A = this chain, B = another copy of it.
Amino acid sequence: MTANIEAAISALSHLDIDTKPASLKARSRDFFWYSPVLKDRLDHVMADFAVSPKSEAEVIEVLKVCYAHDVPVTARGTGTGNYGQAMPLAGGCVLHLNQMNAIKDISPGRLVVEPGALLKDIDAATKAHSGQELRMFSSTWATATIGGFIAGGSGGVGSVHWGALRDVGNIIRLRVVTMEEEPQIIEITGEDLHRVSHAYGTNGIITELEIPLAAAYDWEELFVTFDDFEEALRYSYDLASCDGLLLKLVTLFEPPIAHDYFQRVKPHVTPEKTVLALMVAPQSMPGFETHLAHWSGEVIYRKGHTDWPRDPGLIFEYGWNHTTLRALKVDPSITYLQVGIGTEDPVGRALRLREEFSPEVLLHIEVTRQNGKVGFGSLSLVKFTTEERLDEIVRIHEAMGAPNFNPHRYTLEEGGRQSVDARQLEFKRQADPKGLLNPGKMIAWDDPDWTYDRMYAWPGMTKAAE
């Protein structure tokens, strides 16, 4: 099966197609370079062409032509994923959905939208329409698309109230085009949503999404500091357990993260301070203050009330994966891990992790709802030395009962639960019989007997030029 790139390009030449090396290179990359491991392996990856469909009909046309000519197709929102999800490992076509960004319908609690709409544009539209907003968004709100978030993300700002994207109820319906001789349009609901959401575009191209909305508020944005790390952990757990307080973000940074990596916060904290970044609904501020009075924490910044010489900007751009970004900018040797801490004694578990690893690994805790309980996850910052040490750190975490969703891997399985998802695989057989959709990202497809004893290296990847 050899891709006939020229034939595909010529058949699609009436569409918005891009073959210019500079822009094509940009459209072939994402934030994979967060990981020194992925940087090493994926840096050379490049598509042969990109196409920006303007409608579902054009998506169908692209998939049909590429199917006929055996050309791999990798969907792209804005390429803010950070495991190389959007990178075309075998070259071929990048299907760039940036022009399919219509907001189609807004009703109470619901939105129907095209995949290329930016999260921030959605929030602006739903807020103006009826005081609504997305339940949750990735901290790349300003730049990421809803299609990329659903296909490549896992949760984010809002997960402290609504849980993870995969939790039942957080996606209502996805409309998907398959990659067959005659592409089909499938409306995906219910259990089947797991086959397509968070599938990195390996199981069809999402052309429309229906998702729930929540009431929009002018969220208060705060930094709170604690002298004592353990108290800060207990506070963040307790705060998120206050059912009467409406919160959108509860993030905790082990010292000296805030001091060392947040340039605009640095003048206001010492290296010893544990810092929390919070988003609180305005109607919950009085209750928030009542609750805080029982703790020794101090509000050092409240947007609109505190006058810092340099404004810190959007508070959520300190949390989730933005923490890593900020650290990387100051110290390029920093990378990160995604650690599950769970809901059983998360404070104790976090303390034990700190004892084991600090300062080589620093906890950056996101408080979220996990199956009805308050729990912790950590997007821990890691001072990178070698791949071997990184793997060892992952192993020690797992031995301590803290599962890792390894961000230094580009496959679905290795970034997830390290096991074949039979439903995803079965669906792929039907939706992508030639295996042309984002190839190399689903181990189950390529090598169902893979044992996960080392990093998977997809044999089909284009080789780096010597």
- Give the interface of A toward B (CB within 8 A): 108-110, 130-132, 135, 161-164, 167-170, 172-173, 189-191, 212-218, 238, 240-246, 281-284, 286-291, 293, 369-374
Contacts and interface: CB of A to CB of B under 8 A. Distances in A.
Contact of A372 (B215, B291, B373): B373
A283 B245 contact: no
A172 B286 CA distance: 7
Contacts of A290: 168, 189-191
13 contacts: A108-B131, A130-B131, A132-B215, A169-B245, A169-B286, A169-B288, A169-B291, A173-B286, A190-B293, A212-B246, A212-B284, A243-B371, A373-B374
A167 B283 contact: no
A131 B189 CA distance: 27
A35 B385 CA distance: 72
Nearest to A294: B191
Given A162-B244, A167-B243, A243-B162, A172 B374 contact: no
A282 B167 contact: no
A189 B245 CA distance: 15
B241 A284 contact: no
A244 B373 CA distance: 12
Given A213-B283, A238-B372, 10 more contacts: A109-B217, A163-B244, A168-B245, A169-B246, A189-B286, A190-B289, A191-B290, A212-B244, A212-B284, A372-B373
B131 A240 contact: no
A192 to B, nearest CB: 9
A287 B169 contact: yes
Contacts of A246: 109, 169, 212
Nearest to A218: B108
Contacts of A244: 135, 162-163, 167-170, 212
Given A109-B282, A212-B284, A214-B215, A372 B245 contact: no
Contacts of A284: 169, 212
Contact of A283 (B110, B191, B369): B110
B212 A283 contact: yes
B283 A372 contact: no
Nearest to A191: B290
Sorted from nearest, which 6 A-B pairs have the closest CB atoms?
Answer: A241-B372, A163-B243, A169-B244, A169-B287, A109-B283, A167-B244
Contacts of A369: 243
B215 A287 contact: no
A203 B108 CA distance: 41
A215 B109 contact: yes
A369 B372 CA distance: 9
Contacts of A372: 238, 240-243, 373-374
